[in-house]
Amino acid sequence: MTQRFDKLALLVSDTERAQEAARELREIHPWVDVEEADAAVVLGGDGFMLHTLHAMLTGRRVIPVYGMNLGTVGFLMNRFREPAKLLRRLERARAVDIAPLWMEATTQDGNTHSHSAINEVSLLRETRQTAKIAIEVDDRVRIKELVCDGILLATPAGSTAYNLSANGPILPLDSQLLALTPISAFRPRRWRGAILPDRSRVTLRVLEPDKRPVSVVADQKEVRDVAEVTIAISRERALQLLFDPGHALDERIVAEQFMV
Q: Does residue 47 have a known ligand-binding role?
A: yes
Q: What are the Cα distances from residue 197, in Å, to 4, 73, 211, 222, 251?
A: 34, 28, 33, 26, 21
Q: Where are the beta strands (DSSP E) in 65-201?
A: 65-69, 78-79, 94-98, 101-107, 112-117, 120-125, 131-137, 140-148, 150-154, 177-183, 194-197
H runs (alpha helix) in 80-193: 86-92, 162-165
Q: Does residue 161 have a known ligand-binding role?
A: yes
Q: Does residue 119 have a known ligand-binding role?
A: yes
Neighbours of 250 (CB within 10 A): 17
Q: Does residue 165 have a known ligand-binding role?
A: yes
Q: Does residue 163 have a known ligand-binding role?
A: yes
Q: Does residue 149 have a known ligand-binding role?
A: yes
Q: Does residue 164 have a known ligand-binding role?
A: yes
**Eight-state DSSP code of residue 139:** T
Q: Does residue 138 have a known ligand-binding role?
A: no
Q: Does residue 193 have a known ligand-binding role?
A: no
Asked if the peptide bond before residue 197 counts as cis, ω within 30 degrees of 0, the response is no
What is the distance between the alpha carbons of residues 19 and 21, in angstroms, rounded to a whole number? 5
> How many residues can be counted in the chain?
260
Identify whether the C-beta of residue 164 lies closer than 8 Å to the C-beta of residue 188: no
Q: Does residue 126 have a known ligand-binding role?
A: no
Per DSSP bridges, beta strands 101-107 and 112-117 are: antiparallel
Query: HSE on the CB side for 222, CA within 13 Å?
Result: 7
Q: Is 109 a catalytic residue?
A: no
Of 6, 14, 38, 46, which is the active-site residue? Answer: 46
Q: Does residue 51 have a known ligand-binding role?
A: yes
Identify whether the C-beta of residue 223 lies closer than 8 Å to the C-beta of residue 105: yes
Catalytic site positions? 46
Q: Which residues are annotated as a binding site for NAD(+)?
A: 46-47, 51, 119-120, 149, 157, 160-165
Q: Which residues are annotated as a binding site?
A: 46-47, 51, 119-120, 149, 157, 160-165
